[in-house]
Structure 1
Amino acid sequence: MSLALTLEGAEILAPAGLAPGRLGFAEGVIADGPVGRAVDLSGYIVLPGIVDIHGDGFERHLAPRRGAMKDMAGGLVACEAELAANGVTTAVLAQFWSWEGGMRSPAFARAMLEALAEARPRVVTDLHAQLRFETHMLQDYDAFEDAVAEFGVGYVVFNDHLPHDRLAKGQRPKRLNGTALKSGRSPEVLLALMQALHARSGDVPAAVAGLAARLGRRGVRLGSHDDRTTATRVGWRGRGVTIAEFPETAEAAEAARAGGDGIVLGAPNVMRGGSHNGNASALDLIAMGLCDALASDYHYPSLWRAALFLEEAGACDLASAWALVSEGPARLLGLEDRGRLAPGQRADLVVLDAATRRIAATMSGGRVSYLSGDLAERFLSA
């Protein structure tokens, strides 16, 4: 049930920055004036709810131990609690459809999508799915496209994690044994599969172009992953793939910006001060104006922490930094009803303690998903 409240005494984040004000909302939408009961939020900051455009941290909730996946929908409900505690009001759960098997297999992807459909009515946070498709799985194109349609997946990202250089040289891929263990195969069986997929590389470009065109006609958002060169990004754009997730080089990010493509970077990269595997620094790319959205990637708390860190480090003001986790990702996803605190927008908001800068409350569509401490007493008092 949505609330009808007016939050008073807080600082409200607008495009021009923080300013004292009040914010009313009813029936899940921000109102143009006060409504309902007033709640004193003196000492707090109200910001737009966080939109996580790409995160796979949910995997830890689905399988806290390898093979322990008895209640996937329950795991997603537990994941939603973590999302809410970190200010996320809209979350895109990034699920692999990959030859790697295990939790990245097509069978697991379908099970996860079924669990998501079951979990959605039980949670407050707006949960969406992204499917990450390994482009060399030529035999899976029809089944993948059917799953996108069946489950209403609105965002597809194209991946290629085959170690082509080593396979082309007849060398054993790095970490083969570990990948085989996760997939439930022997290293020899997995290696044979990788070699067979690599051998058909020449058939992939045309197949991907056809799949991208069909998905695009259905209105599916399309992204590429780990672009390294201008040619790669231009090639994806030519197929209608207009979101560049985690470009590995400034060259690729600049090519995305020049073509008007959306650029998604990792919030953990910001917090680490660089990529964990030596790719371009998110901080450097943000300073160059080469970022539209930050994603949780593998760590949900990094989203709000990264936005505040960018302000504290002087990389940008709070409004610009917070837009990278709210308005920016909402725009790339085509969710025009959220990302800003304005009349008519969804009542998606995060409340921070002004002194500690810790999250005290999260509301999605005017419903409380997280509430703690002194602020809980203020909301619950008559």
Structure 2
Amino acid sequence: MSAGEFTLTGAQVLRDGALDAGPVAVSGGVIADALLGRQVALPGCKVLPGIIDMHGDGFERHLAPRRGAMTDLGFGLAGVEAELAANGITTAMLAQFWSWEGGLRGRDFALRFLAALKAYRGTGTDMRAQLRFETHLLEDYAAFEDTVARFGVHQVVFNDHLPHEALSQDKRPPRLTGQALKSGRNPEVYLALMQGLHAQRAQVPQAVAGLAARLAARGVVLGSHDDGDAATRNVWRDRGVRLSEFPETVDAAQEARTGGDGIVLGAPNVMRGGSHAGNVSASDLVVAGLCDALASDYVYAAPLVAAQRLAGRIGWPAAWALVSDGPARLLGLADRGRIAPGLRADLVVLDAAGRVCLTVAGGRVTHASGVGAAALLAAE
């Protein structure tokens, strides 16, 4: 269905911090304040703001199902959009690396990805780039900054995945050979690259502080990744980096909250009942009030499942805000995240079993199944 006029009726609707039974009208891609067009009856369902995913790298499996198989990334992005819509995601930050690791995480692939995303014309899902920049790539700073400006990148997250402990002890990092071959490099060349980047670590703090300041001046949303303690979060805040993605400890999350920084946690952590890496439980942080947004990370189904599980502990309005209004605020997207007249018509409808049966992005139906598809057909 194109971005025309229609009204969803008969369902519970989450708005103004509560579930009510009123209709939701859509006109010209935004929420309207009066009943319009065809009426789509959805008894027994819930109508919720569309999910805003702040950080997801599940798109990688669509862009590279096998090495070299995807010559036109546009086809892969169509698969990404279909999966996002099926999981109720209406805005997605696609977290692409710019890393020394090479392959899908290297600079060349990042440039291919950005060009493909700019050219892609989808069905309505708002897909944007988050670039994950490895801080020790000092020679790439100028090219990276130019790329952010040229492609209008909305969000940058700073990463450091160098195995510093092993490199400081002149040891071969674990999984070195496999990672090198995956990126198409000789293991010894790969090791020498890591050693060279590690050796210039003293220059990184000043360089990254300058880069962060310049990007912030352009309005780019900045985040750090895997803050391990309060001191690390404090350092990033001093650099103007006000989002803490996936803090690994309670202390790091608490420092973020005390300093007024945004806190993004992994929805898969909530979905599986804990961190797969042995870090702090995201559910515990949420209940303690130390979370502003949940992100899909590597599983696009996770935000929906996590919000549903948390709803039993903190209520539907608070749980759903973590995947809608919270991410919208952190990303500076004031036109979405809630159901209110004049806002972008981003909606997800859950059937009585909690399954996504209808997704609307920018007033366009991007996914319909089960009772949602039946309701659309009955309204024709």
Shared fold by TM > 0.5? yes
Which piece of structure 1 moves more, 357-366 or 67-76? 67-76
CA distance in 2, matches of 1:123, 1:205: 42
User: 1:138-170 deviations in whole A, cap 9, x for unaligned?
Assistant: 000001011101111010000000011110111
CA distance in 1, matches of 2:35, 2:122: 30
Name the residue aligned to 1:304.
Answer: 304
Aligned-pair distance for 1:34? Answer: 1.1
Matching of residues 17-56 of structure 1 within 5 Å: 17-56=18-57
CA distance in 1, matches of 2:123, 2:365: 10
Aligned-pair distance for 1:365? Answer: 0.6
SS in 2 for 1:21: coil
SS in 2 for 1:202: helix
Amino acid at match of 1:47: L
Aligned-pair distance for 1:340? Answer: 0.4
Name the residue aligned to 2:355.
Answer: 358
CA distance in 1, matches of 2:267, 2:341: 29
CA distance in 1, matches of 2:122, 2:50: 19
CA distance in 2, matches of 1:183, 1:6: 50
SS in 2 for 1:224: strand
Name the residue aligned to 1:282.
Answer: 282
Matching of residues 178-217 of structure 1 within 5 Å: 178-217=178-217
CA distance in 1, matches of 2:77, 2:243: 26
Which piece of structure 1 moves more, 52-61 or 176-185? 176-185
| 2:42 and 2:371 in contact (8 A); partners too | no
Matching of residues 42-191 of structure 1 within 5 Å: 42-119=43-120, 121-191=121-191
Name the residue aligned to 2:253.
Answer: 253
CA distance in 1, matches of 2:372, 2:159: 43
SS in 2 for 1:52: strand
CA distance in 1, matches of 2:79, 2:230: 40
Aligned-pair distance for 1:43? Answer: 1.7
Please list every run of 5 or more consecutive structure 1 residues that lacks an aligned counterpart in the other structure: none
Name the residue aligned to 2:319.
Answer: 321
Aligned-pair distance for 1:123? Answer: 3.1
CA distance in 2, matches of 1:311, 1:282: 14
CA distance in 2, matches of 1:75, 1:180: 25
CA distance in 1, matches of 2:110, 2:174: 25
TM-score of the superposed pair, with normalisation by structure 1: 0.97
CA distance in 2, matches of 1:353, 1:73: 31
Aligned-pair distance for 1:306? Answer: 0.6
SS in 1 for 2:116: helix
| 2:6 and 2:39 in contact (8 A); partners too | yes
Amino acid at match of 2:330: L
Name the residue aligned to 1:369.
Answer: 366
Number of aligned residues: 378
| 2:81 and 2:122 in contact (8 A); partners too | no
Aligned-pair distance for 1:221? Answer: 0.4
Aligned-pair distance for 1:20? Answer: 1.0
SS in 1 for 2:173: coil
SS in 2 for 1:156: strand
CA distance in 2, matches of 1:32, 1:188: 64
Please list every run of 5 or more consecutive structure 2 residues that lacks an aligned counterpart in the other structure: none
1:234 equivalent to 2:231? Answer no
CA distance in 1, matches of 2:330, 2:122: 26
CA distance in 2, matches of 1:374, 1:353: 7
User: 1:20-47 deviations in whole A, cap 9, x for unaligned?
Assistant: 1111110011111211222211121100
CA distance in 1, matches of 2:343, 2:311: 25
Aligned-pair distance for 1:65? Answer: 1.4
SS in 2 for 1:211: helix
Aligned-pair distance for 1:68? Answer: 1.8
User: 1:333-359 deviations in whole A, cap 9, x for unaligned?
Assistant: 0001100001111110000102x1111
CA-based RMSD of the aligned residues comes to: 0.9
SS in 2 for 1:142: helix
Aligned-pair distance for 1:272? Answer: 1.1
Amino acid at match of 2:104: M
SS in 1 for 2:77: helix
